Each structure stands twice: as C-alpha cells, then as structure tokens.
Amino acid sequence: MSLTIAEKIISNHLVSGKMAPGEEIAIKIDQTLTQDATGTLSYLQFEAMGIPRVKTGLSVSYVDHNMLQTGFENADDHRFLQTMAARYGVYFSRPGNGICHQVHLERFGVPGKTLLGSDSHTPTAGGLGMLAIGAGGLDVAVAMGGGPFYLTMPRIVKIQLSGHLPPWVAAKDVILEVLRRLTVKGGVGKILEYGGSGVLHLTVPERATIANMGAETGATTSIFPSDEVTLAFLKAQGREDCWIPLAADEGAAYDEVVEIDLDGLEPLVALPYSPDRVVPVREAAGVRVDQVIIGSCTNSSYLDLMKTAQILKGKTVHPDVSLAIAPGSRQVLLMLAKNGALADLVAAGARILEAGCGPCIGMGQAPPSGGVSLRTINRNFQGRCGTQDAEVYLVSVETAAASALAGVLTDPRRLGEPPAVTMPERFELDDRMVLPPGKNGEKVTILRGPNIKPLPVAEPLPPRLEGKILLKVGDNITTDHIMPAGSKILPLRSNIPALARFAFAQVDPAFAERAKAAGGGFVVAGENYGQGSSREHAALVPMYLGVKAVLARSFARIHRANLINFGILPLVFCSPEDYDRLDQEDELSIEALADCLVKDGVIDVLNKTKQFTFQVAAGLTPRQAQVIKCGGLLNYTRQQYIGETK
C-alpha cells in the first residue's frame, strides 16, 4: 500500500484506532515542548498526576513568551519551570536562548519523529519532516507521562509546489497564498503535506515558515519531506546522525490536491484583521507605516535576518518608522554579531530585541494608537499587538525591510537586485543555555512564587445542565478574544483566579462578573469558535467561571479538545439556524446527557425563556465521553494511570 509522509509516521506510532479520516486514533509521542506562557500550568498538571519522571524520549521546557519582567511574576515562573525541569527530567532552555520553535528546529527536531507542543505553532518542525502537532498543555502533560495523544484522523491534502520562487518572493508569500485559497478554517481536520519539484528549492528555514503558518488555516499540522536539503541543514547543525530520508510513496493517495506554481507568485500581504485577507502588495502599496516588526517564530531565522541586514545595509530607516527586530534564537544572534550583520542592522536604526516572542503576543512594542504595524508574524487579530485600534499587516521580511526604508507599504521588487543570502555550511553551535536534567531529580526543591496558585479541577458531569446564556458571539472568535495575552495578562497564567477577571475582556468586559453572579452558564458562538492559539486557559478559565457548555456552529480543533479536557461540553447546532433563535440571557436546560454524548447522539436543549426545544450534538468518541463524565482529562488520567478517583 502506498503511503503519504504523514501516514508513514502515524502508522509507525499508532497505538490504537484505524487510519481512516474521521476515526479517533492514538499515537505515541516521541518529543514534547512547552513554553512559559502555557508550560507553568502544564507542569502543575503533570505534577498532579503523580508520575515521578517524564517518559518521552525528549521533553524541552522553553522560556520565550513571558520575557518582559515588569514585576516578580514572570521571573518566579521561570524559576519554577527550571526547578520543575530538573525535578522531572526535562531539558530547560533558559530565557534568552530563543523561541521554542526556532530552537527546536535547530537543536532537537528529528525527521520521522512525533512532537507534541503546548503551542499552536509546534508544526514549525514539520519543515524538518516531523509530525509536529500543537495541543493544550494538559494533553502535553499526559504525553510526558507516557500516555498517547488522541486525535481524529485527519484528511491529507497535498500542496503540490512547482517551479522556483521569483526574485523578492519569499516562503512567507507561499503560505499567504495557501491562506488566501484555504481561509482560516479551510485546513480544519486536515494535514497539509508539501511535495513537488518546488520543494527541492526551499531551504529548511523556508519550509519551517510555511509549516508554521499552516496553523492559521486550522490544519492539524503541516509536513515536508526529509531529503538532501534536510540533511544539509542537520549537518550544518552538527546533527546529521539523526537524519533519515522520508518521502511519500509513488502513487500515494491524497484526499485533495492544491497546486501552486511558485513561478507565478508575487509579494503578498495579509490585511487587518485576519491572516487570510490576502492581496498582492502592489494593490495595497502606499499605506503609511508607523512600525515594522521583524521576528517571531515564523520569520526570525538566520536566513531571514541576513536578508534584512543586506537590504538595510548602508541605509537608514524612514524617520516616521520604528523598526524592531527580534532574532529567533541565541544561535542566530551570535552569528549576526560575529559576521557584522548585527552592526548593519543597528546602524540602519533598527531596535534589537532579545531572542523571544515579544511583540507577536503583545509582550512589548505595541504600536501607537491608530497606528499601522507591518509584521512578519503569523497572526494579526485585532488587539493582539497590544493596541486595540492599531492595524497589523502580515508580510515577508523582504516587504517589511523595504517598507521600513520607504515609510509606506512597499513592493520589495522596487529595490532592484535582491540580496544574495545562502545557508551556512556550519552554524554557531553553543548549547550552554540549554540545561540538561540532572539524574537525582527527587532531590530538587521546586521553587514556587506567590503568583502560582493551586490548579482548579472540574467536577464530574451532572445529569442535568441549567443556566443562562452568559454570552453570544459571532464567527471566528479567537482564543485571544476568550483569554487575551499581552504584558498585563500573561504574567497571570499560573494564577487562574486573577486571570479569570480578563475572560472575554475584548468582547465583553463584564463577562467575568456576570458569570460569577450567575453561578456559571453557557456560551453561544458561530463558526470556527476558538481559532488561533493553543492556550488551554481559554477553556480552563471559563470552566473556573462555571461555563458548562459552549454551543457553536463549529469549533477549531485544538480549542474543542481543550474544552473536553476541562470538562466543558462542545455542542454543535444540528440546525445552524437555531443559533439565530438564541439571545444572551436566555435560560437553557439540558437533561439526559450521559447517553447522548457519542457520535450519533442528539441532545435536546430546552430554551426555558422562549419555550422551544432545539437539538445539538456533542459528537464525542467513547473515550472523550468518559473524559467529560469524569470532569476532564486530569481526573480521567488519574483514574487510568494512577488509579485515583475523584
């Protein structure tokens, strides 16, 4: 039987289930990664399971999100994570070592392996030929404990690339073209597998950029072949021993094929406020620019920043533009410093940030009020940048650098000959900022700051759910809407009672108080509810506030899984029109739940306020139904692996 790349890795890691689209499968996880915005909670959950040591082949704890230390909270979390890593057998990437996805690509990723990360952009490692999937922190905690990862077997879409990228056209433009065609929900339930002759002309960092932003389509993951290009990258990283060739079999069957001729692409831009509002740069050119940000896990590689440095060399940033650059890793920063490119960037007027996520998640560098910010990041949701009325455009580093010089959104093709940047034969290798776990973890004292509060746990599912509709929202509500990020809120990620004050703050600032006063209730939503980040806080905080179920037209994959993990029922309208019949403050009642949770079960919901009944479906697998009945994955895992009962 001919297999795709994804099918080969899944079949080699299959623990249970059949590789048929729509069926629940469980796969063994080889590696995990966490970052500090999600990791603190993930390790609290791992600790609560009572497992003495991680059981994966490799687990890495990165500090890259909550880097802005305006108070003690973030520094306390970093110290907590370092001691937890030493205690439980996890590698610890210290603050300043770089963004988890960039560092993992450089130093830890292995073709053909599985990687589960508590960050939605974990698929970045698909650029190396890994099956890398973003998930909630609780799923990652279970994987660290040796449990499999459960998911619905995705359909596999082949993105067939042909030709070569023209001058000034970048890998970022490739994924923007994919987003233009598929939209932010067109990848849901799918794996995007890249192939064709065009792949041969893309470096691993370019492949990683494309795999990274595949998350914005809602795809489960994206993956590239492992070939001679992959080998050259790993050899330059001193890791050629872990390389294996990996390609789809001749005649492998795909559920869908999308063909992209690289020769026909041009510089593209995603307009505010969605990554799929994509148009050619030439059509939007001339927009005044206040700020340019180059960096994030999407575009902060050595290749990206060397191109930036060459474009800016000998020139000066426009006087009306603030240009900030965040290298993706300490390795990148060291190499720029040693070859003189860092001096070129500074001389041009760039503000150099530390190697971390920073502006991408609103952790510093917020634009001015009403400002326009061009960014090489992956998301431009309204308010995510830290300024509610700012407009964020997503572009390649080439377009960003050209625009920083001109002061307006500029097609980089106007600059003449493009910079000639090649991959180095050898990267700067220095892993001193990665701390390996010690052998005597049981002797390590866990250091907990006062901001680290006990982990809330859901109650088992009652026979009846009753309450008011606390909030009704529209389509494409993101996890940023549900649980915002930013410098004021991210430091509270390990303090759920304090964090809960900000639930749905961008949509309805009074939500938290209303939910508390009502003793909980329901949320009603439109299509693609929960798109964006993997942050499980967007499920945990509503659970803490008493949200019992979310009724939506459809859900984003990771968020739906997170809702189940925290004991909140994700219910889909059987008739989408019923969404229009509901209003905030309507009182709902749902009875006889236990027998109607699995795939074909239909659940009757009584609108007590308007006196009509409508139907929803949970569509759970038998395992997911048990998780819900137990009150979430933590309770379920305790029963399965530890033998405890709540």
Catalytic positions are: 64-65, 119, 379, 533, 535
Contact (CB, 8 A) for 305 and 325: yes
Question: What span, in angstroms and rounded, lies between the C-alpha atoms of 54 and 43?
Answer: 11
What residues are paired with 27 via a beta bridge?
A: 14, 149
The span from the CA of 393 to the CA of 278, in Å, is: 10
Q: Which of 110, 107, 92 is nearest to 31 (CA)?
A: 110
Tokens of 548: 């019992």
Cα distance between the two ends of the chain: 46
The DSSP code for 484 is: -
Q: Quote the CA–CA distance of 526 and 588 in Å, as a whole number.
A: 18
Beta carbons within 8 Å of 546's beta carbon, 6+ residues apart: 467, 515, 516, 518, 519, 520, 521
* Pairwise CA distance, residues 495 & 37, whole Å: 12
Q: E strands, 271-336, where?
A: 278-280, 291-294, 322-325
Task: Report the relative pairing of strands 521-525 and 547-552 from DSSP bridges.
Answer: parallel
Beta-carbon contacts of residue 245 (< 8 Å; ≥ 6 apart): 226, 227
Q: Find the DSSP H helices in 14-90.
A: 36-49, 72-88
Cα 165-270-67 angle, rounded to 5 deg: 100
Whole-number Å distance between alpha carbons of 255 and 158: 8
Q: Give the whole-angstrom CA distance, residue 426 versus residue 610.
A: 69
Query: In which order are the strands placed within the sheet that holds 91-93?
Result: 131-134, 114-117, 31-35, 58-62, 91-93, 434-435
In 62-154, which ranges are continuous DSSP H helix? 72-88, 100-107, 137-144
CB neighbour list of residue 370: distance below 8 Å, 6 or more residues apart: 389, 390
Half-sphere CA count of 185, side-chain side, radius 13 A: 14
Tokens (6 digits) for 644: 């405890």
Q: How many Å separate Cα 521 from the centre of its chain? A: 28
Q: Are 62 and 33 in contact (CB under 8 A)?
A: yes
Measured in whole angstroms, how far is the alpha carbon of residue 495 from the centre of its chain?
21
> Which residue type is seen at 512?
A
Kindly tell me the number of DSSP H helices and DSSP E strands found in the chain. 21, 27
